[in-house]
Amino acid sequence: MTRLYHFPLSPYCRKVRLSLAEKRIEVELIETRYWEKAPEFLRRNPAGKVPILNIDGKMLTESAAINEYLEERYPTPSLMPTSADGRYEVRRLVSWFDDKFHNEVTSNLLYERVNKKISGQGYPDSAKIKSGAKAIKYHLDYLGWLLDIRRWLAGDTMTLADFAAAAHLSALDYISDVDWDRNANVREWYSKIKSRPAFRSILADQIPGFPPPPHYADLDF
């Protein structure tokens, strides 16, 4: 049985969950308190991070590498373009979200508001929250610009780039930190991807002590 060791609000775990679901790979989700650094957990991944995917007799780590493995091992449906230029653009955008967006937005909003409390690391830093709230506006505007000239983020078809973006934004939407009225293109794009069957388990996530807003699971938000 394929198993994914994950934390529900981790955008990196969500990204892998979306790929697995889109490719219709059955998986057992095992919620993991990665910050406790349990010996058994560290044996699975000495880096002490999630996601960890147990599949095909292998223990895979690092979300970008996992998704590329899934793409090569289970190529249908494809989540990567066939051209070198197209693949480059997907990888560029995945890196944008997993690096720049994460550092400027996700870590300053989600990690401050939720992760710190859950892991007992103290109180939110108001300066970081203010910085994240400011930065997300720029990122939403950039997505809106991309969607002015493209059907999906990286081109004419849905790719891993869309899943990377949706993974981060859905986690932030869980705590009402996304202004969907800022850009109509972004709202329409998220509505499309949110309506896919692969998104169902994401919308069903519940974190004790942190109930999602009513619009979180609403397809007509």
**Is residue 221 predicted with pLDDT exceeding 90?**
no
Q: Which amino acid is at 141?
A: D
The full set of domain ranges for the chain reads 84-197
Helix (H, G, I), strand (E, B) or coil at 176: coil
Give the fold, CATH level 3, of 84-197. Answer: Glutathione S-transferase Yfyf (Class Pi); Chain A, domain 2 (1.20.1050)
Sheet holding 52-55: strands in order across?
Answer: 28-31, 3-6, 52-55, 58-61
Q: What is the mean pLDDT of the chain?
A: 96
Give the other-Cβ count within 10 Å of 14's Cβ: 27
Stated pTM of the model: 0.96
pLDDT in tens, 21-59: 999 999 999 999 999 999 999 999 999 999 999 999 999
**Is residue 220 predicted with pLDDT exceeding 90?**
no
